[in-house]
Amino acid sequence: MRHLPYFCRGEVVKGFGRGSRELGVPTANFSEQVVESFPSDIPTGIYYGWACVGNGDVHKMVLSIGWNPFYKNTKKSVETHIIHTFKEDFYGEILSIAIIGYIRPEKNFDSLEALISAIQEDIEEAKRQLDLPEHLKLKEDNFFHLPGGKIVNNH
Ligand code: ADP
Ligand code: MG
């Protein structure tokens, strides 16, 4: 994966309400502009990495780069599930992510149960990978810990 690690920051916007929250895996969506700034040849699929909301702590995450149904699958969407329980939603806040590794391509599932268990496996795989020293060190990257105070968001 020649684009990795890939660092990116942007506002969390409303997604298309595909029910990720109902599956127990809310996904913070990036705006179309942020998605367009991604390398166009980055493969769709599931990735793992680190994420931070506003000035908050850095958490493990799993990320989906997929085809955006709103644009008849001609544009990509980028959605981050942070492996952490937040007290509140954070729409409008700045999400910073480091995409580190690839887990698997996009897939279609025969049932909701199969989808949910695949997501749970992705989360477990992300947790294991991110505990490796070479991946753990990116949690401390200056990208997340800017000198002289971190990112100020507009809320
Ligand atoms: P949408 O379709 O608007 O993206 P989701 O059901 O995917 O709705 O929920 C995403 C929203 O849930 C995020 O924008 C964020 O505000 C909130 N949220 C709460 N906890 C998390 C989490 N652990 N990871 C990602 N988003 C979360
Ligand atoms: Mg979402």
Instruction: Tell me how crowded residue 83 is: count the other CB atoms within 10 A of its CB.
Output: 16
The minimum-distance atom of ligand 1 relative to the CA of 83 is 23
**CA-closest candidate to residue 97, choices 19, 1, 5:** 5
- Over the chain, what is the mean pLDDT? 91
- Ligand 1: residues with CB < 6 A are 12, 14-17, 20-21, 26-29, 81-82, 84, 86, 89-91
- Smallest-distance ligand from the CA of 20: 1
Across the range 129-150, mean pLDDT stands at 86
Query: Residue 37 C-alpha to ligand 2 middle, in angstroms?
Result: 19
Three-class SS state of 21: coil
Q: How far, in Å, is the centroid of ligand 1 from the Cα of 11?
A: 12
Q: Tally the C-alpha atoms within 13 A of residue 6's C-alpha that lie toward its C-beta.
A: 22
Residue 19, pLDDT > 80, answer: no
Distance CA 38, CA 5 (A): 12
pLDDT of residue 4: 96
Tell me what pLDDT residue 72 has.
Answer: 80
State what percent of residues in the chain have pLDDT above 70: 94
Please give the Cα distance from 77 to 71 (Å, whole number): 10
How remote is the CA of residue 21 from the centroid of ligand 2, in Å?
A: 8
Structural domains in the chain, CATH included, are 6-138 (2.40.30.30)
More confident residue, 33 or 149: 33
Res 16 pLDDT > 90: no
Closest CA to 38 of 6, 61, 66, 14: 6
79 annotated active-site: yes
Q: How far, in Å, CA of 25 to CA of 109, rounded?
A: 16
The reported pLDDT for the residue numbered 154 is 43
Q: What is the pLDDT of residues 36-74, one digit of tens each?
A: 999 999 999 999 999 999 999 999 999 999 988 777 888
pTM: 0.92
- Give residue 155's pLDDT band: very low, low, confident or very high (50, 70, 90): very low
pLDDT tens digits, one per residue of 76-90: 999 999 999 999 999
Q: Which of 22, 32, 36, 79 is catalytic?
A: 79
